[in-house]
């Protein structure tokens, strides 16, 4: 299929960057819940372009219309559809992108897949604008998770040459990240120095027309042990499927991640211990997940974004019509680094995966079956 | 759900490490195809424990019985079920694992999830033994992919302190890996020196009772552009969901992976160029995938395995009955490093994801709809 | 779950009768196809209320907006979303329907399911208006099936006391039904006398404020043998799941249907014979399906609609607030018989099920797997 | 896909009539439940051939082996696989069935679908023997439903010329059917006279070598209002998809079923009324379902089985190799009427559909989401 995900809650995504708009239908929400739409809007604003130095200058209203599923401000239990109508769609010769594909964009792959019939305007269905309805979905789902005591937060772990401190997370940092404190900062780093360095870097990139990659670390507290299924619907598998659906993500690490490759078992294992009447591990290399199932410790994962492929510098490419090499210059609006705007997206994705695991686990209990 | 995956081909996995056996049902295979069962057995032998210095000393026959779906040695089109009956199941007090959970094993998470009712013997349904039927499935699917010209191979990229050379893949190395040449080596490294170092490391680990993590790099040639769907069923998403269902994997990177975080766009982008009448990129940081869709270049990804959590050294844990800290010593068979045996598993997973994308793409073509 | 269906093509339905509107997202359509939107509109008009003596007097524009998936009048391969905005939504005290549920409507069941939070206006998500996007989907899918040579038609088999002639279908009648000839008639009966009787019956019902049930027979020619999977995705199972999603349908019969219960095998069996170089059966009690798979003969099934539960007469019901018996009078627009407007809906459903079977069968062929 | 069903509980069916055996894997059962295997065996015996005058003389042991998912006699939460090994598989020239297809069997359709590569022995994957694991699954699921107060029963409504009395169900008859009382009778009719007539009919059919169709009515008490989703996963849709996966079923009616076609709304509607503190309808034409959702009244549906297509009389068919008409005589074991053995199968199917709706409804409650 393609743009549909989920078994308990089903998300059906649609739309194009420069067509009528983008939207999502969410099936099987519970009736009677009154969403806090102000909080949803705040999350959407975090993702919105044009709201900071680090962002594209595209002016999207990011206003949405709820087409179904809400009555008297409450969920009805019927499918909820939200639609973000496009307003700032500049007309230009996008068709050329099918002819001279931009390096590391989906242009060439999509042209080969769809025989050139895909909507090329602004990336069409491949655009990062599709993440606006995902943030809506995540911000809604998140309101249920919070009632369970689950808190999801994220920080920029790295932006190009700028790293956050501390690299290895102490428990106090996890709490800060999940508290939402970082949302109030110019950039969601823990370290003030990193913010300053990163703002300077973004300024440099903007003038040079180049872009840079980065990493986001997601922390989740309050997940009880037992969420996630073995094998194909493990908590790691669900997060992974969703994470790699976000344009630009090229790596995913749980807990110690790639560092495990150089570790010994005696060093990597997280020994169990008691703390008061709580059972926990001494450290959390596992990222809160063993055998695909949450173990009660904070869930932690890190994603790597590639540098935005849209850069202002001339690049080599091929003219697919003539079959000859050529040079491409991309004009227009783009982010020098996608990572700041991507934080609410990755948090949204985490909420979707966790809710699926929570509902699955509701039904694993014998009581659910009477 | 849990242990079922796929839309075009549906894989339904079952079994426990020390119960009757493990197996898989594969739905919607094409009728009339005569599988090469000798090749399937060879792949299963690559995963088999007890066949080398680096492996557990458990002696599994790894013989299987095909319960359905094959008639006159050909596929019938009906569901194919294969069953690996367990033979070497030693009886011992596994129930203690629910009481004193092993660090970084699924014991504690599973106990909390299933209320202590999971089969604890040898990890039960969480055991690596479940990957035997996955290798069967992958080795079968792979025979179709080869007819399409797709070749899947893998190498050990890193085993603890031992790295393979060259780290960055030249095209000639990709060809070697996909040729199957490495299957004949004592360990599937490209570099002879790395093999020697790794064998020495395994010997050391075996005597110390410790374990070590590692990385496997998978290379796939011959994938035409256009495989994979946007968003939730992107080629990266499908590979990711399957990869993280394999016990012990904690990180996944496509192409340049985590290194993208320090790169600039001008350096990371893969410019398009022509080579004869072929369109290709000058380098392949993207790992053969743009926008979730194959771009015609070799598909490359790297997975990180954590060190085997079963080590012979005493470890701290908690007695869940008394709630007090205690020390655990694990006796028995285990791998000092899972990576060598995991190569055919990760290749199998890749085959499953690619076949799904290939069949999806068959139906994307207008001709399929008449 | 709920309002989403399909594996090859995924249909995601949303909307309410008197909310913003109703719509559907269709995933995994093939890129490059140019739909004939005029034909789609014609089908939508067949379903439209207020267009004949037999219909409700509600004036819906039934105009739609395509929100995604079409570019330059062609399918892009990305999800296609169509939205029918509601225009003629009268405001009235619908909330009372949750308190005094209408007999044989969904009111009571929905109130108990959703705790009274469902949208009660005009039936909300349970309204027959949801079939407008289904007709859109079916009319689009049908254009592919026609290229394959598949023709779908339907007739009213029975409307209350009025039966069509001939009851048992000769081959020539099947051809007439599938030719679309009946679409031009005041009511889609084969027999002129039946039309006259039915129009008279509708007039009577309109003045008495009562309603009547009926049956639609669907005929499909040109389905090659081999469509449909054994068991849960049999052609009969797929048609059945979709048929019973249409509000008001209470019975489904394939071929001889309920009459099989009084037959002997020697009489019911359809003997194979040759006709020229064609293989066919002498009669078609099986309705073109054996073992869940099309056998090359015309596919035929019959659905029974209950009488529209909305009638103008006073009816007994219960006041859920007071718990006492009461009498309910329903005012407003309703159809004395839904069957004429339901023909394009049932045809649409048939197209959706057949396309799924056709695409499944494309992938059953060994050639699809190379 | 094909032989896999369900979203909450996933059933994966496999096997062939005369291959190694038949089986099913059931995913996502709750851990810790101790099934009553004696009751499961009793249900399997009800379906077993050779146990009465009305059945085939094939002697299947119908013993099964549980391959996974049970430990210490309790469910583990991991996939449960059960396997019925075939024992009484006579070798004969089944391949001829692909050449001279039996009328109204799947032979021709399957040959065309699978290119003649399907397992032809005894119907292969199309055999009624596949219903043995379905009865296992249903009998297991039923044990959960009973704890909720749901009782499922069935009666033979009609067997050829023999009808049960009373035809229209009074409440007392519903109670008798759901009590299991009929299981102790020679044939599950309510009426003694019907039993006698039916036994005589079966005797006649056995000597004449002919077969006869029939109808089973399923009654379910104790279903609370609110089970079932609107549209594609309506309670009627789920039952329908499963019902039509059973070999030989050609019609399905809910409540008044086909009789609705001749009714007026004023007569068909079920008025709401109070009885003590209970809310119910005066009669139950709706079969306990409105708008696809249970309304608290008994759920009732009726299925029609075609006469067993295997008859001893000579029948016309075609030789697919030569393309010429020929005459076929089928020897061997078959049921003159499948309906008595099919009762536990249809009850099993009902249990599977109800459990899916119950679990879906568990998650519709806001409390499930916290």
Which residue in C148, C230, C362 is closest to B363 by CB distance? C362
Q: Which of A44-53, A217-226, C315-324 has the lowest mean pLDDT?
A: A44-53
Q: Cβ separation of D1 and B76 shorter than 8 Å?
A: no
- Whole-number Å distance between alpha carbons of C130 and C5: 14
Biggest alpha carbon distance in chain A? 72
Predicted local distance difference test score (pLDDT) of residue A334: 79
Decide if pLDDT at B212 tops 70: yes
Max avg pLDDT among B166-170, B257-261, C45-49, D360-364:
B257-261
Which residue in C31, C144, C230 is closest to B370 by CB distance? C144
Q: Which of B171-175, C304-308, D85-89 has the lowest mean pLDDT?
A: D85-89
Decide if pLDDT at B247 tops 60: yes
Q: How far is C36 from chain A (nearest CA, A)?
A: 17
Give the residue among D340, D256, D362 at the shortest CA–CA distance from D9.
D362
Which residue in B14, B77, B124 is closest to D118 by CB distance? B77
Q: Cβ separation of B369 and C147 shorter than 8 Å?
A: yes
Which residue in C16, C66, C68 is closest to A68 by CB distance? C16
**Cross-strand partners of C10:** C27
User: What angle do helix axes B107-114 and A339-364 make, rounded to 10 degrees?
Assistant: 50
For A73-87, what is the mean pLDDT?
96
For C117-123, what is the mean pLDDT?
89
Proportion of chain B above pLDDT 70, given as a percent: 93
- Whole-number Å distance between alpha carbons of D354 and D235: 7
Q: Is B285 left (phi over 0), alpha (psi -120 to 50) or beta?
A: alpha
Between C and D, how many residue pairs show a Cβ–Cβ distance under 8 A? Answer: 393
Q: How far is D65 from chain B (nearest CA, A)?
A: 9
Decide if pLDDT at A51 tops 60: no
Decide if pLDDT at C95 tops 80: no
Token pair in block for residue D236: 């009627």
Predicted local distance difference test score (pLDDT) of residue C53: 47
For C209-215, what is the mean pLDDT?
97
Token pair in block for residue C352: 């959706």
Q: Cβ separation of B119 and D4 shorter than 8 Å?
A: no
Half-sphere exposure of A11 (CA within 13 A, CB side): 28
Which of the 8 DSSP states describes residue B307?
P
Q: Cβ separation of D27 and B1 shorter than 8 Å?
A: yes
Predicted local distance difference test score (pLDDT) of residue C1: 47
Proportion of chain A above pLDDT 90, given as a percent: 82
Which residue in D109, D287, D293 is closest to C110 by CB distance? D293
Decide if pLDDT at C102 tops 90: yes
Predicted local distance difference test score (pLDDT) of residue D59: 53
Which parts of A52-210 are beta strand (E)?
65-68, 70-71, 74-75, 80-85, 151-159, 162-163
Q: How many domains does chain A have?
A: 1
Q: Cβ separation of C361 and D308 shorter than 8 Å?
A: no
Question: Could you read off the pLDDT of A174-220 as tens digits, one per residue?
Answer: 999 999 999 999 999 999 999 999 999 999 999 999 999 999 999 99
Predicted local distance difference test score (pLDDT) of residue D1: 47
**Strand, helix or coil for residue A319:** strand
Token pair in block for residue B81: 């079920």
Q: How far is CA C83 from the centre of its chain?
A: 19
Say whether residue B89 is in contact with chain D using an 8 A CB cutoff: no
Query: What's the mean pLDDT when you consider all of chain A?
Result: 92
Q: Cβ separation of A79 and C2 shorter than 8 Å?
A: yes
Q: How far is D344 from chain C (nearest CA, A)?
A: 17
Token pair in block for residue A280: 């926990």
Does the complex come out with an ipTM higher than 0.90?
Answer: yes
Say whether residue A204 is in contact with chain C using an 8 A CB cutoff: no
For C275-281, what is the mean pLDDT?
92
Subunits next to D (3 or more Cβ pairs <8 Å) are A, B, C
Please list every residue in chain D whose beta carbon sits closer than 8 Å to the beta carbon of residue B65.
Answer: 20
Say whether residue D345 is in contact with chain B using an 8 A CB cutoff: no
Quick check: C207 and C176 in contact, CB under 8 A? no
Say whether residue D5 is in contact with chain A using an 8 A CB cutoff: no
**Strand, helix or coil for residue C126:** helix
Q: How far is D130 from chain C (nearest CA, A)?
A: 9
Say whether residue C108 is in contact with chain D using an 8 A CB cutoff: yes
Token pair in block for residue C212: 């009547």
Say whether residue A253 is in contact with chain D using an 8 A CB cutoff: no
- Residues of chain B numbered 59-78 and touching chain C (CB < 8 Å): 77-78
- Residues of chain D numbered 116-175 and touching chain C (CB < 8 Å): 125-126, 130, 158, 160-161
| CATH number of residue A144's parent domain | 3.60.150.10
Q: How far is CA A62 from the centre of its chain?
A: 17
**Cross-strand partners of D273:** D280
- Whole-number Å distance between alpha carbons of C306 and C300: 20
- Whole-number Å distance between alpha carbons of C296 and B29: 23
Q: How far is C265 from chain B (nearest CA, A)?
A: 27
Please list every residue in chain A whose beta carbon sits closer than 8 Å to the beta carbon of residue C6.
Answer: 1
Question: Could you read off the pLDDT of C137-150 as tens digits, one per residue?
Answer: 999 999 999 999 99
Q: How far is A252 from chain D (nearest CA, A)?
A: 27
- Residues of chain C numbered 211-240 and touching chain B (CB < 8 Å): 229-230
Question: Could you read off the pLDDT of D184-239 as tens digits, one per residue?
Answer: 999 999 999 999 999 999 999 999 999 999 999 999 999 999 999 999 999 999 99
Give the residue among D363, D368, C117 at the shortest CA–CA distance from A147.
D368
Residues of the domain holding A84: 4-369
For residue D34, the tally of other CB atoms under 10 A from its CB is: 12
Predicted local distance difference test score (pLDDT) of residue D333: 66
Quick check: B215 and B158 in contact, CB under 8 A? yes
Quick check: A254 and A294 in contact, CB under 8 A? no
- Whole-number Å distance between alpha carbons of D345 and B102: 44
Say whether residue C269 is in contact with chain D using an 8 A CB cutoff: yes
Say whether residue C369 is in contact with chain B using an 8 A CB cutoff: yes
Please list every residue in chain D whose beta carbon sits closer than 8 Å to the beta carbon of residue B113.
Answer: 31, 77
Ranges of residues in chain D whose predicted pLDDT is under 70: 1-2, 50-61, 88-93, 95, 333
Confidence of residue B88 (pLDDT cuts 50, 70, 90): low
Confidence of residue A330 (pLDDT cuts 50, 70, 90): confident
DSSP A70-113: EETTEE-SSPEEEEEE--------TTHHHHSPPTTSSHHHHHHH
Decide if pLDDT at B1 tops 90: no
């Amino acid at each position: 299929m393609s743009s549909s995900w989920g078994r308990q809650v089903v998300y059906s995504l649609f739309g194009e960057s420069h067509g009528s708009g983008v939207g999502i239908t969410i099936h099987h929400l519970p009736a009677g819940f009154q969403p806090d739409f102000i909080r949803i809007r705040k999350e959407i604003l975090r993702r919105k372009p044009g709201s900071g130095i680090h962002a594209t200058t595209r002016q999207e209203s990011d206003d949405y219309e709820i087409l179904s599923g809400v009555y008297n401000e409450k969920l009805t239990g019927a499918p909820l559809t939200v639609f973000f109508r496009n307003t700032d769609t500049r007309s230009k010769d996008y068709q050329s992108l099918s002819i001279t594909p931009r390096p590391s964009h989906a242009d060439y792959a999509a042209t080969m897949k769809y025989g050139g019939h895909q909507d090329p305007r602004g990336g069409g269905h491949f655009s990062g604008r599709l993440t606006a309805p995902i943030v809506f979905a995540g911000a809604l789902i998140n309101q249920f998770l919070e009632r369970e005591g689950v808190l999801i937060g994220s920080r920029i772990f790295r932006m190009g040459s700028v790293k956050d401190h501390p690299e290895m997370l102490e428990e106090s940092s996890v709490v800060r990240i999940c508290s939402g404190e970082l949302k109030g900062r110019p950039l969601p780093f823990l370290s003030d120095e990193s913010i300053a360095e990163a703002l300077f870097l973004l300024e440099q990139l903007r003038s040079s027309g180049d872009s840079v990659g980065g990493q986001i670390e997601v922390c989740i507290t309050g997940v009880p042990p037992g969420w996630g299924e073995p094998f194909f619907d493990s908590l790691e598998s669900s997060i992974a499927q969703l994470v790699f659906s976000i344009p630009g993500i090229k790596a995913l690490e749980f807990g110690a991640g790639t560092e495990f490759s150089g570790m010994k078992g005696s060093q990597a294992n997280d020994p169990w211990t008691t703390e008061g009447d709580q059972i926990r591990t001494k450290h959390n290399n596992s990222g809160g997940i063993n055998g695909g199932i949450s173990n009660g410790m904070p869930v932690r994962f890190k994603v790597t974004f590639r540098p935005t492929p849209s850069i202002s510098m001339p690049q080599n490419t091929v003219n697919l019509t003539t079959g000859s090499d050529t040079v491409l210059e991309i004009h227009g609006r783009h982010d020098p680094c996608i990572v700041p705007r991507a934080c609410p997206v990755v948090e949204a994705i985490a909420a979707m995966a966790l809710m699926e695991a929570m509902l699955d686990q509701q039904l694993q209990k014998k009581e659910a079956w009477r």
